[in-house]
Chains A and B, each alone.
Chain A
Amino acid sequence: MEHYVIALSKYFIAIFLALYTYECFAVFRFQDEERRKGIYTRQIILMFFFHFSAFLTICVQTGELQYLFFYAFQQLAIFATLVLFELFYPTLNRLIVHNMCMLLTIGFIILTRLSFEKAMKQFIIVVISLVISMIIPHFIYKMKFLKNLSWLYALIGIISLGIVLLLGSITNGSKISYTIAGITFQPSEFVKIIFVFFIASALYQSSKFLHVVYVTLVAAVHVLILVVSKDLGGALIFFMTYVLMVYLATHKIRYLLLGLGGGCAASIVAYQIFSHIQTRVQAWRDPWSVIDGDGYQITQSLFSLGRGELFGLGLFKGAPDDIPFVEQDFIFSAVVEEMGLIVGLCLILICLSCFIMFMNISMKLKDRFYQLVAFGLGVLYIFQIFLTIGGDTKFIPLTGVTLPLVSYGGSSVLTILIMFSIIEGLFMIRLDEGAKSARRKQKATRRETTESEPSFRRSRQPEEERQPEEERQPEDDGQQEQER
C-alpha cells in the first residue's frame, strides 16, 4: 500500500499542477471576473489536492507525526488567506491571490522535505507576512500622497543600502544583510519596492531630459552600492527595472537601447575589475573543468535537474541536499529533481501568468504613477525569476537570488507578498478608474449622439481589441459598476 502511494502520488502531483497551470491561462479567455468563477473554484480544489498528495507522500515516506500537524497548519494558513482576502476585498483579482498561495504551497512542500526546521521558520514568517500584506491593498488604495514622495524614497533606499554596506555581515561572500534583535534583515529586498516607487513618482509627471538625468544619477547610486556590496543579482534587478521603467515613462526606445548598451559596457568593466564576477562567468561557461571548486554548485544543480526526468524521483528520494545553498538559490533544481520537470515547467508558467496579469493591470491603469508602479513591480518580479531559474539551469551565469515565494528567506518572502498586495491595491484603483470612465463615457456618448459624431465610439472599439488574446483582460465596465 505504502509503495503504491509513493509510486503513484508523484504522477498525481504533476497532473494536479498541470491542470492548475492550464486554468491560470484559461483565465485570460474570459472578460470579467464573474465568468472566471468556475475556473477559480477549480483552482482552489486542484491546489488542495496538489498540497494533499505531496504531504501524503511526505507523511508515508517519513512516518513521522510532526509532518501531519505541519501540513494541517499549512493548509489552514492557505485557506485562511484565500477566505480573508476574499472577505476584505471582494473585488480582488483572484488569480494573483491563487498563484501567490500556490507558489507558497510549492515552497512549503519542498522546504519541508529539505529541512523541517527551516520550513517551520519560513512558515511562521509567511504567516506574519500574510497578515501584514492583508492590510496593504487598503493603504495603497487610500494613500494617494504616495505619489509625491519621490526624493524621500531615494533617501530611504540609499540610506538602508548604505548602512548594510558599512555595517552589514557577509552572506555568501556578499555584504547584504544585518541583524537586529536576532532577526536578520536583507534590506536590498525591501528597497526594491521603495526603488520602484521612487522611479515612478519621479518620472510620472515629467520625462524631460535633464530630469531623467537626475533620476538616473540617483538610481545609479543604488546600483553602485549594491555592486560594491557584491550583491550582483540585486544590482542587475535594480538596473533592469530602472531601464525598463524609463522606457515606459519616456516612450523612447533610444533610452532603452542606451540603457541596455550602457549596462553591457558596465558589465564588461565590472567583469574586468571584480574577480568574483570572473569566477562566476568561468563557472558558467565550463563548470565541468572547475567541478571541484567554483563549478561545484552549478554542476550539482545540473545533476539534480538531470536526475528528475519528467515526473521526478519522488519526495525524499533524491539528493538535492548535495547542492550548497539549495533552499535559497537552487530551490528550482530541488523541485525538478524530486517533483519532476513537468512540475518545474508548470512553476515557471505560473510565475509567467502572474507577470502577464501584472502587466495587464498596468496596461489598464490610466494614472501614470500607478501604471509605472505596476509595471516596475512586474519587471522586478519576472527578472528575479529569470535570474534564479536561468542561473540554476546554466542558461545564464549564476547570480544568487531567491525564487520569489518558493525559496527560503524571510526578507524575500515578505517583500514579494507586499508586492503582490500592492498590485492588488492597484487592481482596485483600476476598477475605480474603470467605473469613473464608464460613467464619463456614457455621458460623452449621449453628447456625441446629439452632436452627430458617432464615429468616435465605434472607432474606439477595435482599439480595445488590440490587446493580445491571452492578455485580453476585461474591462467590462458595466460589470464593475455593478460591483462597486
Chain B
Amino acid sequence: MTDSRNRKDSKKKKKSKNREILFVTYTFVCIFLAMMSYICFYVYTHEEVMINNSYNAGQQMLVLQNRRGSIYSKDGDVLAKTVVQDDGSEVREYPYGEVFSHVVGYSTKGKTGVEALANYYLIQSNAPLNEKMNNNIANQKNPGDSVYTTLETSMQEAAYNALGVYDGAIIATNPKTGEVLAMVSKPGFDPNEIASVWEDLIEDDESSVLLNRATQGLYPPGSTFKIVTALEYLKENPDTYQNYHFTCNGSITIDGSKIKCYHGVNHGYVDLKKSFAKSCNSSFANISTKIDWNAFDKTLDQLLFGQKLPFDMESSVSMINADPDSSAENKIQTSIGQGETLVTPLHMNMITCAIANEGVLKCPYVMDRVENNNGAIMKKFSSNSSKRLMDSDTSQILTELMTEVVENGTATKLSGQLYTAAGKTGSAEYNSESDSHAWFTGFAPAEDPQVCVTVIIEGAGSGGDHAVPIARRVFDAYFSNHRE
C-alpha cells in the first residue's frame, strides 16, 4: 500500500517535471516558427526596395545577366530601349529625344523618371525558362521585362509643341483613373546625349534643366489659388454663398494694406460667380476677411499643402502661410495666391482632378504594366490610393464656377469648342516689376470630366492670354484622339 503511494508521488513528480520541459520546448518551437514565417514574409515584402538599393550587389548582378528592358507609351511607342552595338556594348536609346526627357528620365549618370521608378522591373527577366537556358548556353543576356506607361505619345507631343520656346510645365491626367497622360517640363534635354552634355547641365545653375518642373518646380499659384479660397468660402456657406456680393472699384484697402485688381480693372458689382470668373482680387481680399482661418488651415491640410504629394516620382512640397494670427496683409495676399505661397504644377493638377472627380483625388501614376519579352503581363498597376479632398457638393459648385470662367470669364479663349471646359486662370507675379507666370488649370468635358490639364508658363504674362491657348491645344489633342 505505502509502496504504491510512493510510486504515485513519484509519478506526480515526473509529470510536473516534464511539464517544464514541454513548456520550454513548445515555446522555442513557437519562436522558431514565428522566425521562419518572418523570414519568408520579410524577404518577399522587401524584395523591390532591396534590389533598388544601390548598396546591393544584386542590382549589378541582374544588370550583368539581363539586358535592360524597354519603356513604352500607352499606345506601344518605344520611349526607351537598349540596343546592342556591333562591338557588343549596350546603348540606351530614346527615340523621342527631348519630348519625354524628364518623365522618362535617363539611366546613366544616376536614374530619374520612369527609368528610376521602373528600374526593378527593367532589370528583371521573366523570359521563359528554356529561353533563359538557351541564352545561358549561348552566353547571351536575357531580355529584361518591358514597362508600359500611361503616357500618350500624341498628348505628350502636343504639350511639348504647345509650350514652344517658353520655359514651364504641362501636366495632363485622367481624373477618373489617375493615369498621367502627358508631363512636359521645359527647358528639356536630349537623354540620348546625356553623357556628353552632363557637365554643362550640372554647372548651369540658372536654368536648372534637369529639374522636372511639373513635379518639382515651386511657383506662386496666383489666381488659380482662388479655387482654394472659394472652396473654403463654399464650405463655410454652403447654402448662402449665392447671397455674396461686393462692389469692386479696382482696389481695396483692409487694415492699411491696399490691393489692386489685375491691371486695375474696375469690376463693379460682383457676386461669387462673377468674382471668380473675372478673377477679382478686391472681392477675394474681401472674402479673406469673411472666412474662418482656423478652419482654412485645416482645409489646406486636407488639400495636401505642406505634405509630400502621393506620387511615386520625386516631387516638391507646396508651401503656404495661413497662420490665423498673421497680419491682414498676409491673409489678403494668401487668399489671392501671392504672399508666401508656392505650389507645384502637380499639386495644382491634383486639386483640379479632385474637383473633376466629385471631390476624390485618384492618386496619379505613370507605370501601367510590366510585360515579359513575349508580351505576357507580369504585373498591372493602378492608382494605389484615393483621397477625398472635398465633399462632392462643393466640387459640383466649383465646377459651375470654373465653367463660368471659360464661358464668360478670363478663359474665354477655351469657349466655343466641341467640348465644354472648366478651369481657372492665374497670373502669378514673381517679382516687384509685376512680371507674371501664366497659369491655367482645368478639365473637360465639364459634365463628364475625362482629362485634366495644368499649364504654367514662366514669365509669359497673363494666364488668360498665354496659358489658355496652350491648354486648348492639349485638350484638342486629347479629344481628336479619343473621339468615339
Assess whether B50 is in contact with A393, with CB atoms less than 8 Å apart.
no
**Shortest CB–CB separation between residue A351 and chain B, in angstroms?**
8
B434 is an interface residue with CB less than 8 A from chain A: no
Selected contact of A307 from candidates B11, B24, B35, B58, CB within 8 Å: B58
Contacts of B19-49 to chain A: CB distance below 8 A:
20-22, 24-26, 28-29, 31-32, 35-36, 38-40, 42-43, 46-47
Selected contact of A306 from candidates B14, B51, B136, CB within 8 Å: B51
**Shortest CB–CB separation between residue B38 and chain A, in angstroms?**
5
Assess whether A395 is in contact with B22, with CB atoms less than 8 Å apart.
no
What 1/0 flags go to A362-395 for Cβ under 8 Å of B?
1100100001000100010011001001100111
Assess whether A247 is in contact with B57, with CB atoms less than 8 Å apart.
no
Task: Evaluate whether A379 and B24 lie within 8 angstroms (CB atoms) in the complex, with A303-B50, A306-B51, A389-B35 already known.
Answer: yes
Chain B: CB-nearest residue to A309 = B43
A209 is an interface residue with CB less than 8 A from chain B: no
Inter-chain CA distance A97–B177, complex, in Å, is 62
Q: Is the interface of B mostly helix, strand, loop or mixed?
A: helix
Assess whether B43 is in contact with A386, with CB atoms less than 8 Å apart.
no
A300 is an interface residue with CB less than 8 A from chain B: yes
Task: Evaluate whether A390 and B35 lie within 8 angstroms (CB atoms) in the complex, with A3-B133, A248-B21, A453-B4 already known.
Answer: yes
Contacts of B407-454 to chain A: CB distance below 8 A:
none
Assess whether A319 is in contact with B51, with CB atoms less than 8 Å apart.
no
- In which size bucket is the chain B interface? 35 or more
Selected contact of B61 from candidates A248, A307, A362, CB within 8 Å: A307
B387 is an interface residue with CB less than 8 A from chain A: no
What 1/0 flags go to A239-259 for Cβ under 8 Å of B?
000001001100100000000
B17 is an interface residue with CB less than 8 A from chain A: yes
Assess whether A305 is in contact with B43, with CB atoms less than 8 Å apart.
yes
Contacts of B380-405 to chain A: CB distance below 8 A:
none
Inter-chain CA distance A303–B22, complex, in Å, is 37
Task: Evaluate whether A359 and B50 lie within 8 angstroms (CB atoms) in the complex, with A352-B32, A386-B32, A448-B4 already known.
Answer: no
Q: Is the interface of A mostly helix, strand, loop or mixed?
A: helix
Contacts of B45-90 to chain A: CB distance below 8 A:
46-47, 50-51, 53, 55-58, 61
Assess whether A306 is in contact with B46, with CB atoms less than 8 Å apart.
yes
**Shortest CB–CB separation between residue A308 and chain B, in angstroms?**
8
Assess whether B21 is in contact with A348, with CB atoms less than 8 Å apart.
no
Assess whether A302 is in contact with B35, with CB atoms less than 8 Å apart.
no
Chain A: CB-nearest residue to B51 = A306
A191 is an interface residue with CB less than 8 A from chain B: no
Assess whether B137 is in contact with A3, with CB atoms less than 8 Å apart.
yes
Q: Which residues of B have CB within 8 Å of A444?
A: 7
What 1/0 flags go to A390-408 for Cβ under 8 Å of B?
1001110000000000000
Contacts of A422-467 to chain B: CB distance below 8 A:
444, 448, 453, 456, 460, 463, 466-467
Q: Which residues of B have CB within 8 Å of A231?
A: none
Selected contact of B4 from candidates A247, A317, A359, A456, CB within 8 Å: A456
Chain B: CB-nearest residue to A248 = B20
Q: Which residues of A have CB within 8 Å of B294?
A: none
B16 is an interface residue with CB less than 8 A from chain A: yes
Q: Which residues of A have CB within 8 Å of B7?
A: 444, 456
B242 is an interface residue with CB less than 8 A from chain A: no
Assess whether A3 is in contact with B136, with CB atoms less than 8 Å apart.
yes
Assess whether A393 is in contact with B25, with CB atoms less than 8 Å apart.
no
B289 is an interface residue with CB less than 8 A from chain A: no
Q: Which residues of B have CB within 8 Å of A389?
A: 35
Task: Evaluate whether A393 and B42 lie within 8 angstroms (CB atoms) in the complex, with A3-B136, A319-B57 already known.
Answer: yes
Inter-chain CA distance A232–B56, complex, in Å, is 28
Q: Which residues of B have CB within 8 Å of A303?
A: 50, 53, 55-58
What 1/0 flags go to A333-368 for Cβ under 8 Å of B?
000000001001100100010011001001100100
B18 is an interface residue with CB less than 8 A from chain A: yes
Inter-chain CA distance A196–B8, complex, in Å, is 30
B483 is an interface residue with CB less than 8 A from chain A: no
Query: Which residues of B pack against A, CB within 8 Å?
Result: 4, 7-8, 11, 14-18, 20-22, 24-26, 28-29, 31-32, 35-36, 38-40, 42-43, 46-47, 50-51, 53, 55-58, 61, 133, 136-137
Besides A3-B137, A393-B35, 15 other CB < 8 A contacts?
Answer: A303-B56, A344-B39, A352-B29, A359-B24, A362-B21, A363-B21, A375-B21, A382-B28, A383-B28, A386-B31, A394-B42, A395-B38, A395-B39, A448-B4, A463-B11
